[in-house]
Amino acid sequence: MSEEAKKEEKSLNFIEEIIEKDLRSGKYESIVTRFPPEPNGYLHIGHASSICLNFGLTRKFPGYTNLRFDDTNPTTEETEYVDSIKEDIQWLGFKWENERYASDYFPRLYEFALQLIKKGLAYVDDSTSEEMAALKGTPTEPGRDSPFRNRTVEENLALFAQMKNGEFPDGSRTLRAKIDMGHINMLMRDPVLYRIKHAHHHRTGNEWCIYPMYDFAHGQSDAIEEVTHSICTMEFVPHRELYDWLIAQLGIYPSHQYEFARRNTNYTVTSKRKLLQLVTEKHVSGWDDPRMPTISGMRRRGYTPESIRDFCDRIGVAKRDNLVDIGLLEFSVREHLNKIAHRRMVVFDPVKLIITNYQEPESGKEFLPAENNPEDGNAGERDIPFGREILIERDDFMENPPKKYFRLAPGQMVRLKSAYIIRCEEVIKDSAGQITELHCSYIPESKSGHDTSGIKTKGTLHWVHAGDAIEVEVREYDRLFRVEDPTDEEGDFKEYLNPDSLNIVKGYAEPSLKTAGINDSFQFLRKGYYKLDRDSTVERLVFNRTVTLKDSWARENKQP
RNA sequence: UGACCCAUGGUGUAAUGGUAACACUACUGAUUUUGGUUCAGUCAUUUAAGGUUCGAAUCCUUAUGGGUCAACCA
């Protein structure tokens, strides 16, 4: 079955079903969605899910998607975040039709407010936030009317103009919708529409000192852009009533809001506040620390856009609470990297191995061709140096091996990947009993690709030529938290940070890695997938471990 | 002690009144010059109890469990 046919066969999620129905019924000929980040932090894996949903919808159905920054709170928003958000979306592989800002609409929004005031549906309230909270009631008790609720339209118009003109200090007054203080939905109890903030805005500068609240900006921006399907997360369900009320009273384009459950992944946090805290308190090196669930962190770690999109696709969209196993993301990235990553050999914890019967050619060593990727016939080969002295992994040798040990042991044979079959003849130790050298013999007829020896080995080891190995730094990452859901635990979430989330080790790499590029991902044979880090210099290469290879041998041996 | 949202294997998602399916994980086994990859197989009476129906994961009722709502945040 073709990729295409497979996709078509896959059942629609509930939002796609709604759209499919709307299109079929003729309600719309094409759709408009939007991705509406607030530029007050970096995008994370949860946003990736939303991006894939919103942009994916208009890939699947006719229409387009806008990028709209929800920048109505000047005190927390910055241009730095705008730039990173745009970069992340593009890196993920999506293109927006229009780049918009809620702040583009401040003049329109102000007009909308005037319109409501004139209809007697909004009023200026002089209450302090404490007073307002006291009159708000609780989920089980109704609220009470503000003493300023019955001002005349003229008075409200005049006061609102003064608010706009900067005649009042921050927090002294608000514009509120006049709905129903006894409403069962607390958001309908005269919600605040505008507040006074004498703050510098990243785009409008000091032009405004009143700013609209989310509820008076989001739906209105949707309407202005004629967004057909405004998709957000479940916590906005109660806002929908207000969303619809405002659109109806304003008589503007009837955008509709649909909600899905935000995606959570285990062993991490995705609240912007918590992520910011990890950054500012230096628990991580920055927003793009490879342990962070941010898109920039995942990019630096070596996750590919394809693998993140695939992950988002696999976890789907629904309305129930969820905690997705991060192992699924790891599966997606292994699957993609297995197809594209070139193979290299790197020894982490070396022990010297001397091939006693090997006659080195005059040049001192022999070059052996090795395939770059067995999964990709077009990936070509590279030549790797082989000689009398090589390095292998210390744990690829055991003096007294258990029954199913396929690696090197006294008297046993293994193949050296892309080279020869060797047999261990002698173990050399220092006075402390530590193994310092392994003396082996090799089978000349067993040369990789020209093997006439007829010998079958169970194990194949990776290795590097001792004289040509280059020292590299490898940063091994583990989950950032020790528990699946840090926010669900007692006390501060930071108490549950995994102290071993970063482990820096030395590696001895085959020389071809010298030419590695900053965006190259490699599979270090029998180890995992690694990507060159931007901290690399000419003298010292630094690799980030994206993810390990599956290791059923290690797993089996962990069982007590 | 109000309103609203949600409930299908360990995890995530399907099944749209008609045989509970797919993916991941885990476990078997085969293949393998990566203990990787690949391939084959195994793992559920759908939170509970009633009801409607020839027939219910699906519709109704109640219960239980989880989540959301009392920011001049989004």
Among the residues of A251-374, which ranges form H helices? 272-280, 295-301, 305-315, 326-340
Can you give the pLDDT at residue A120?
98
Find tokens 């482990």 and name the residue: A503
Q: Which of residues 142-181 of A touch strand B (CB under 7 A)?
A: 170-174
Interface confidence (ipTM) of the complex: 0.96
Residues 6 or more apart in contact with residue A191 via CB below 8 angstroms: A176, A177, A179, A213, A215, A216, A242
- Edge-to-edge strand list for the sheet holding A122-125: A122-125, A174-177, A192-196, A210-212
Active-site residue numbers of A?
38, 262, 272
Q: How confident is the model at residue A557 (pLDDT cuts 50, 70, 90)?
A: confident
Q: How long is the CA A135 to C1' B62 vector, in angstroms?
A: 36
Mean pLDDT across A342-364? 93
Look up residue A209 and give its amino acid. Answer: C
Can you give the pLDDT at residue A10?
76
Look up residue A285 and give its amino acid. Answer: S
Nucleotide nearest A460, CA–C1', reads B33
Q: Which of residues 83-142 of A touch strand B (CB under 7 A)?
A: 127-129, 132-133, 136, 138-140
Can you give the pLDDT at residue A519?
86
A262 touches strand B (CB under 7 A): no
Can you give the pLDDT at residue A311?
98
CA geometry: angle A479, A48, A105, nearest 5 deg:
135
Q: How confident is the model at residue A558 (pLDDT cuts 50, 70, 90)?
A: low
Residues 6 or more apart in contact with residue A394 via CB below 8 angstroms: A349, A350, A351, A435
A133: helix, strand or coil: helix
Segment holding A4, helix H or strand E: helix A3-9
d(CA A55, CA A52): 5
A235: helix, strand or coil: helix
Q: Which of residues 206-225 of A touch strand B (CB under 7 A)?
A: 211, 213-214, 217-218
A270 touches strand B (CB under 7 A): no
Burial A478-491 (b: 16+ CB within 10 A, else e): bbbbbbbbbeeeee
Chain B nucleotides reached by a protein CB under 7 Å? 1-8, 10-16, 23-27, 33-38, 66-74
The answer to whether residues A559 and A546 touch, using CB atoms and an 8 Å cutoff, is: no
Can you give the pLDDT at residue A4?
40
> Could you report the per-residue pLDDT of A36-69, keeping only the tens digit for each?
999 999 999 999 999 999 999 999 999 999 999 9
A226 touches strand B (CB under 7 A): no
Q: How long is the CA A17 to C1' B20 vector, in angstroms?
A: 21
> Could you report the per-residue pLDDT of A72-107, keeping only the tens digit for each?
999 999 999 999 999 999 999 999 999 999 999 999
The answer to whether residues A114 and A230 touch, using CB atoms and an 8 Å cutoff, is: no
- Edge-to-edge strand list for the sheet holding A421-429: A460-461, A413-416, A421-429, A435-443, A350-355, A389-393, A463-465
Q: In sequence order, what DSSP letters do the residues of A277-308 get, joined into one string?
A: HHHHTTSSSSTT-TTSSBHHHHHHHT--HHHH
Q: Which of residues 361-420 of A touch strand B (CB under 7 A)?
A: 373-375, 404-407, 415, 417-418
For residue A342, how many C-alpha atoms fall within 13 Å in the half-sphere facing its CB? 18
CA geometry: angle A20, A21, A25, nearest 5 deg:
120
d(CA A332, CA A432): 45
Radius of gyration of chain A (CA): 31
Find tokens 């000929």 and name the residue: A29
d(CA A361, CA A368): 13
